[in-house]
Amino acid sequence: MQFSMDTTGPARIITGYSPTQLRVGEQLVMTSAIVTAERVLPWAVATIEELTPQSLDPALALDVEVVLLATGERQVWPPAAVFAHAAGRRVGIEVMTLSAACRTFNVLVGDRRAVALAALLGSAG
């Protein structure tokens, strides 16, 4: 069986990352951001301690099935109210390290799933 890259869509994928930056295609992102297959949005949340249920609203408004919450080099759980808020909007939240979230995002985008990556860049996590 032969595999080939599907280049018909405009999907953005994560091409590189570090604790303080993401590379989305050719775009370098150096502050926390929300990334989908179509866009990169700045996100005003720098640390897990700053995350409130409402601060996740920009990601929840994007008509996605799941938000991958990237908490840095360590997996750090947000307050339960964040999960409840997302569940009320019928969106799942998966908490991951940045590296795991980037890999998972690329796989889900490749499968054309409605996913958003909410990446906390530069956090202590």
Structure confidence by residue, pLDDT tens digits, 51-87: 999 999 999 999 999 999 999 999 999 999 999 999 9
pLDDT of residue 107: 96
Given this model, what pLDDT does residue 6 score? Answer: 52
The per-residue pLDDT for 125 is 47
CATH 3.40.1230.10 assigned to 14-119: yes
CA pair distance 45, 54, nearest whole angstrom: 11
> Is 67:119 a contact under the CB 8 Å cutoff?
no
pLDDT reported for residue 4 = 44
- How far is C-alpha 27 from the chain's CA centre? 15
Q: In the chain, which residues have pLDDT < 50?
A: 1-5, 124-125
Bridge partners (DSSP) of residue 42 are 33
What does the pLDDT read at residue 23?
95
Other CB atoms within 10 A of residue 80 CB? 9
Is residue 125 within 8 A of residue 72, CB to CB? The reply is yes
Helix (H/G/I), strand (E/B), else coil: 35: strand
User: How far is the C-alpha of 60 from the C-alpha of 19, rounded, in Å?
Assistant: 24
Q: What is the pLDDT of residue 1?
A: 46
Res 11: pLDDT:
76
